[in-house]
């Protein structure tokens, strides 16, 4: 990964379709490829663009642990129901 100074600024323009081009040095530093997803968050300071970790990096993380998949599914379903109530 190429190092980029934390204070280095990159100026980009917004296209008529609302698109911006991520400068090559940043794409290379983050190893971004076509189709990769980024997360945008509006903050008090401006726009934060995050590069989420790829799921593949997590593969095998829980291997060997005693996990009850039914319990995991129940937790996920309850989280979905809670989120649906908040959104409404």
pLDDT at 22 over 90: yes
Class of domain 1-53: mainly beta
Provide the whole-model pTM.
0.51
pLDDT band for position 72 (50/70/90)? confident
The domains of the chain are located at: 1-53
3-state secondary structure string across 26-87: HHHHHCCCCCCCCEEEEECCEEEEECCCCHHHHCCCCCCCCCCHHHHHHHHHHHHHHHHHHH
């Amino acid at each position: 990964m190429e190092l980029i100074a934390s204070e280095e600024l990159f100026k980009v323009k917004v296209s008529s379709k609302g698109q911006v081009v991520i400068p090559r040095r940043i794409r290379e530093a983050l190893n971004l490829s076509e189709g990769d997803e980024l997360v945008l968050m509006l903050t008090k300071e401006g726009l934060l663009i995050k590069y989420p970790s790829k799921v593949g990096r997590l593969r095998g993380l829980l291997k060997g642990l005693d996990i009850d998949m039914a319990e995991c599914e129940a937790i996920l379903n309850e989280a979905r129901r809670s989120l649906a109530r908040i959104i409404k």
